[in-house]
Amino acid sequence: MRGVAFATPLIVILGAFLLWPLFIMAGRSLGGDDTAFSLHVYRDVLSDRRLLQAFWYTALLSTLATVLSLAICTPAAIYIEGRPSFGRRLVAIALAAPLSLPGIVIGFFVILGFGRTGVFTGFLRSITDLSNPQFAYTFWGLLLGYVYFAIPRVLLVLRGAVSNIGADTVQAARTLGAGPWRVFFEVVLPALRPALISAASLSLATAFGAFGTAATLSRGIRVVPLEIAALFTERFQPDKAAALSILLATVTITLIALVNRFDRRARS
């Protein structure tokens, strides 16, 4: 009974702010303008080339951002959790700073750095023959914003796991003659596998639902959250917006479940 009492606030919050809105949207998407339930709204969404392309871009950006953020944050977490120093603390602060910033601000950072008048754009223009080397509003600029948004979240998960790796284990491997790369691949990475899975799940879920970064940087590249907002506010098609929201939630939950299932199988 005590466990149920402790879980009651969480159950109420999930019911009020997650399950109930999803239930309302599901009913709206299934009902449409008719009185009887129908799947015609979902058929319209799944046959719309624009919306399918948005799903493709969303999945591609989320996957690439997750892979890149893991590649960046894994060695960074190992470095930060090493012997304490001012440089390590500085790196930790710099990589964790975007955690408190909304996606739209991160999008502005990318524009300031890589827009037409950005700092890095001006530098590239000065050392190359390119007249307009900016890429803030391209696919790669959008990907940069996604990665920048994911890095602090992934880093927090990995830092906790790295700090739990026993120094004695690493030292024993080195004593037995294992080089740095062998220690990394055969000792550190296996120990970090649960954290890597959790960080990947968090990054994918966050990227699939990212709105502010995409709204700031997207020029012709449409992702699902932008299409949902457009269906609500511009095209006045709330039924399609509800169906697209349900599909996005279903895809995200399925991906997280598959990642976690892969982790359980790998452990067994």
Round to whole Å and give the CA distance between 233 and 241: 10
- For 211, the 3-state DSSP assignment is coil
Do residues 169 and 230 both lie within one domain?
yes
> Residue 190: CA atoms inside 13 Å, Cβ hemisphere, count?
10
Domain range for 2 is 1-38
Do residues 97 and 228 both lie within one domain?
yes
Is 45 in contact with 51 (CB distance < 8 Å)?
yes
Round to whole Å and give the CA distance between 183 and 166: 13
- Mean pLDDT, rounded, of the chain: 80
Do residues 29 and 106 both lie within one domain?
no
The answer to whether residue 96 scores a pLDDT higher than 70 is yes
pLDDT at 147: 92
Round to whole Å and give the CA distance between 138 and 221: 8
Position 94: which residue type? A
Q: Which of 6-10, 32-36, 129-133, 229-233 has the lowest mean pLDDT?
A: 32-36
Q: Is 66 exposed, middle or buried (0-12, 13-18, 19+ CB in 10 A)?
A: buried
Asked if residue 43 is part of any domain, the answer here is no
Round to whole Å and give the CA distance between 220 and 54: 10
Residue with tokens 């790796």: 165
Average pLDDT over residues 221-244: 84
Task: Please tell me the pTM assigned to this model.
Answer: 0.81
Round to whole Å and give the CA distance between 170 and 231: 54
pLDDT at 143: 92
Residue with tokens 């954290």: 195
Do residues 152 and 236 both lie within one domain?
yes
Average pLDDT over residues 233-256: 83
Q: How far is CA 230 from CA 35, 60, 170, 227, 238, in A?
A: 25, 21, 52, 5, 10
CA 9 to chain centroid, in Å, comes to 27
Overall number of domains in the chain: 2
Is 169 in contact with 187 (CB distance < 8 Å)?
yes
Position 201: which residue type? S
Round to whole Å and give the CA distance between 252 and 254: 5
Do residues 72 and 99 both lie within one domain?
yes
Do residues 193 and 145 both lie within one domain?
yes
H helices, E strands: number in the chain = 14, 0
pLDDT, greater one: 24 or 246: 246
Do residues 31 and 54 both lie within one domain?
no
Average pLDDT over residues 126-147: 80
- Residue 117 tokens read as 């008048």
Asked if residue 194 is part of any domain, the answer here is yes
- Spell out a b/e string for 215-241, using b for 16 or more CB atoms within 10 Å of the CB, else e: ebbbeebbbbbbbbebbbeeeebebbb
69 pLDDT band, cuts 50/70/90, is very high
The answer to whether residue 34 scores a pLDDT higher than 60 is no
- Spell out a b/e string for 24-49, using b for 16 or more CB atoms within 10 Å of the CB, else e: ebbebbbebeeeeeeeebbeebeeee
Do residues 137 and 252 both lie within one domain?
yes
The answer to whether residue 32 scores a pLDDT higher than 60 is no
Average pLDDT over residues 92-102: 82
pLDDT at 98: 80
pLDDT at 67: 94
Do residues 86 and 173 both lie within one domain?
yes
The highest-confidence range among 58-67, 120-129, 246-255, by mean pLDDT, is: 58-67
Q: How far is CA 233 from CA 24, 160, 240, 260, in A?
A: 18, 41, 12, 36
Do residues 135 and 88 both lie within one domain?
yes
